[in-house]
């Protein structure tokens, strides 16, 4: 399976000054193409399997957004992987002499990689950036206002992933081996192993570990929480149901309020048998942006 395409959705509003885009490797569907639509992304660029799109393709998308939409500027939401970050930065450099205004927002919500030299990876929390910043852009927020909003999200968002079977590579092999009765803790979305391997007798034990991780690392505050329960590919529905219940129970015991909870396939790792959990604190204005309508099909399902 290979990917090499640029996808574009045009906002119907003539007053939107900033087009919000994103991109990355293939194999994470519905990310990012499923979140194209008014109220979320105006465009995205998708590379080959688990491979960042090329800088020229990214630059082409920047150019098309200015030529084919009412937008005057482009803001790109970039998952914090080396290839993605470097190629988006290079795309901006390629456009230096064109006058196209490009702003990059890096996402690094993954608890498993916080503190490492490259900084935390961007995983399923990316979807909340796309929803909230996309809604802000649809309300004609400026790039400066959107960057301030992104900085606020960054201060209060955490994600953590676990898996019971690695994803399948294009040649039909598993990206890594897991012994029977073991789970990988802290996995990424590109088939990377996690930070540890955990023996278990019930899958609920592993999911409870993930719930504990995100709640133990969410910054303190009085604001309620948004929770995102993400199927990384082929986790059974029972796992997602248990995860939602575990999040609600942990929140109740911890005196936290879950203001919004959403479950489903948002950011996958092909057919990985696993899930990730994302928590984010949200002020009333951020909740309003989260609740704003969107035509993006993968969000509206």
Active-site residue set: 28, 190
Enclosing H/E stretch for 212: helix 203-217
Q: Return the closest-CA partner of residue 233 out of 163, 183, 173, 298.
A: 163
Angle between helices 284-291 and 125-138 (to 10 degrees): 90
Could you tell me which residues are beta bridge partners of residue 258? 225
Task: Find where tokens 């909003």 sit.
Answer: 149
Enclosing H/E stretch for 284: helix 284-291
Three-state secondary structure call for residue 64: helix
CA atoms within 13 A on the CB side of 128: 36
What does the CA dihedral 154, 135, 41, 155 come to, rounded to 10 degrees? 0
User: 144 Cβ partners below 8 Å, 6+ apart?
Assistant: none
Longest Cα–Cα distance of the chain, Å, equals 59
Enclosing H/E stretch for 109: none
C-alpha distances in angstroms, 237 versus 38, 52, 101, 118, 273?
Answer: 29, 30, 43, 34, 11
Please measure the distance between the N-terminal and C-terminal CA atoms of the chain and give it in whole angstroms: 25
Three-state secondary structure call for residue 89: helix
């Amino acid at each position: 399976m290979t990917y090499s395409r640029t996808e574009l959705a045009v906002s119907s509003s003539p007053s939107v000054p900033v087009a919000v885009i994103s991109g990355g490797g293939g194999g994470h569907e519905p990310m990012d193409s499923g979140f194209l639509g008014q109220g979320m992304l105006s465009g995205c660029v998708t590379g080959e399997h688990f491979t960042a799109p090329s800088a020229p393709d990214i630059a082409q998308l920047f150019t098309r957004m200015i030529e084919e939409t009412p937008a005057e500027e482009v803001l790109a939401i970039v998952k914090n992987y080396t290839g993605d970050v470097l190629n988006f930065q290079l795309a901006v450099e390629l456009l230096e002499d064109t006058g196209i205004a490009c702003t990059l927002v890096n996402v690094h919500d993954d608890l498993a990689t916080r503190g490492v030299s490259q900084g935390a990876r961007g995983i399923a929390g990316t979807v909340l950036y796309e929803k909230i910043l996309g809604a802000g852009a649809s309300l004609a927020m400026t790039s400066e206002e959107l960057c301030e909003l992104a900085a606020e999200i960054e201060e209060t968002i955490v994600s953590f992933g676990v898996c019971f079977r690695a994803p399948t590579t294009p040649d039909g092999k598993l990206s890594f081996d897991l012994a029977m009765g073991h789970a990988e803790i802290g996995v990424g979305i590109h088939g990377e192993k996690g930070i540890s391997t955990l023996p278990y007798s019930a899958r609920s034990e592993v999911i409870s570990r993930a719930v504990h991780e995100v709640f133990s690392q969410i910054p303190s505050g009085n604001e309620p929480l948004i929770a995102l329960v993400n199927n990384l590919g082929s986790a059974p529905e029972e796992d997602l149901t248990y995860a939602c219940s575990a999040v609600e129970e942990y929140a109740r015991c911890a005196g936290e309020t879950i203001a919004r909870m959403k479950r489903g396939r948002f950011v996958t790792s092909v057919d990985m048998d696993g899930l990730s959990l994302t928590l984010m604190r949200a002020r009333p204005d951020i909740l309003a942006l989260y609740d704003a309508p969107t035509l993006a099909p993968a969000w509206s399902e």
